[in-house]
A and B are shown apart, each in its own frame.
Chain A
């Protein structure tokens, strides 16, 4: 698996798009710091960008890489290698190179700005950790979609729909349901609803860490009670880990049964 991972990683490191992605974050980090002149504020703005953009890039890149490396995959399948190690190697190659672009692209400007001397370091680390989780989750989901769809156009379509659903439509439905059922106690429901969507979960985690939960009113207090505690943090990270593990498990299952 590690050999495949190595080659996929090198292959991506050589592709133009990794650099474009890296350069984008570098630029974003520099511009935000320059405009805000304040680490904490830059982290908040960054969060809004990352929470939407990272899943999108993860899905698109995952689907694209799978379809583009199809021939290479077929070449590998005829070699004495396990199927699961071929696909997991490729998946990790994509996910790790994307995470590296994110971490280095944002990390470099922040470190130069004096991140280590400020108290925003934990907020910033949390931002990068959730960003990495989101990359792992959405790349895995993208691989699932690509494995199940021979047709590229369909695969891309489903991938975009998935992103659209989790990033935007889910929130809409969530809010609607809160309005419709506002006469009932909804703390538990909204907590569970947040846990079920990795994007919402990441957003809530960061917002509460940034201590701006007061803006959220009563719900914020409930959320703070839950996510602010160690228990809540552990549960949230377990939920994120589960979001990574389940799709990865399905990749190995699906890959075992597929014909090439």
Chain B
């Protein structure tokens, strides 16, 4: 699904990704973890072509991302902070994205799933953080793409919406999609993900299942396993 070879990215003097290699197969939920500033968001933005790497090669579904923007038709992306043009209405934003990306009929189901009907005619600038995040989720999931990238999907969501989101992610996985998630909420990651990709100092420190991680670090639970990696590496 995704192949990353020897990826380097520097911002000024700060080297964020230093020779990252990663291969992600088809189907399943992959959690990208790592301490603050380890390059999670940069990695995701490289995948989307928003950040241009200094060196390295990225292929998504067999297509080199340098060869054009069409590969993004196969990616649904949920950005970390839901910032939308403030003077657009929710309905207009959804129609606009549909106009830009192509037809879909999934938006209605998603709007009712997250109970967004009362907000459709409101302007995005007047919505609360959590509601914006729900709009963000609708925009992401309304296109049935084989690769879904979620950057901090849980931020601002209330417990009931979080439950719905988890169900939605599981349903998407059942369709055979590959889902990439970053999150700082370990219980969420533990519950939902099949495999962990742990980033440290711009490289992949660990890739495997949660059980493998526990065995490797000799820790009883997932949270302590992550903590032990961090303390062992003086983060």
Contact = CB atoms under 8 A, between A and B. Distances in A.
Interface of A: 3, 7, 11, 14-15, 69, 71-72, 74-83, 257-260
A235 to B, nearest CB: 39
Interface stretch (B77-85, B173-181, B219-227): B77-85
Nearest to A85: B69
Contact of B72 (A7, A11, A79): A79
A77 B51 CA distance: 10
A80 B50 contact: no
Contacts of A72: 84-85
B45 A7 contact: no
B83 A14 contact: no
B48 A77 contact: yes
Contacts of A81: 69, 72, 100
Interface in B82-124: 83-85, 87-88, 96-97, 99-101
B101 A79 contact: yes
Q: Which of A14, A74, A76, A77 is most buried by chain B, counting CB atoms within 10 A of its CB?
A: A77
B69 A82 contact: yes
A11 B89 CA distance: 11
Contact of B69 (A11, A14, A80): A80
Given A14-B87, A257-B52, A260-B45, 19 more contacts: A71-B85, A74-B50, A74-B79, A74-B83, A75-B79, A77-B48, A77-B49, A77-B50, A78-B75, A79-B100, A80-B72, A80-B101, A81-B69, A82-B68, A82-B69, A83-B69, A258-B52, A259-B45, A260-B51
B5 interface: no
Contacts of B73: 80
B137 to A, nearest CB: 14
A83 B97 CA distance: 16
A7 B92 CA distance: 10
Nearest to B101: A79
Contacts of B50: 74, 77-78, 259-260
A72 B125 CA distance: 13
Contacts of A79: 72, 97, 100-101
Contact of B79 (A7, A14, A15, A78): A78
A82 B87 CA distance: 25
A260 to B, nearest CB: 5
Question: Which are the 6 A-B pairs with shortest beta-carbon distances?
Answer: A71-B83, A80-B72, A78-B77, A259-B51, A72-B85, A260-B50
Given A3-B100, A78-B79, A79-B101, A259 B52 contact: yes
Interface of B: 11, 45, 48-52, 68-73, 75, 77, 79, 83-85, 87-88, 96-97, 99-101
A78 B136 CA distance: 13
A151 to B, nearest CB: 14
A94 to B, nearest CB: 14
B160 to A, nearest CB: 26
Contacts of B11: 259
Q: Which of A14, A69, A72, A83 is most buried by chain B, counting CB atoms within 10 A of its CB?
A: A72
A71 B97 contact: no
A78 B50 CA distance: 7
A83 B68 CA distance: 10
6 contacts: A75-B84, A77-B50, A78-B72, A79-B72, A79-B101, A81-B100
B139 to A, nearest CB: 8
A79 B52 CA distance: 16
A80 B77 CA distance: 11
Contacts of A75: 79, 83-84, 97
Contact of A69 (B49, B52, B68, B85): B85
A243 to B, nearest CB: 29
Contacts of B83: 71, 74-75
Contacts of A69: 85
A76 B101 CA distance: 10
Contacts of A11: 85, 87-88
Q: Which of A11, A78, A79 is most buried by chain B, counting CB atoms within 10 A of its CB?
A: A78
Given A75-B79, A78-B50, A15 B69 contact: no
B70 to A, nearest CB: 6
A10 B134 CA distance: 25
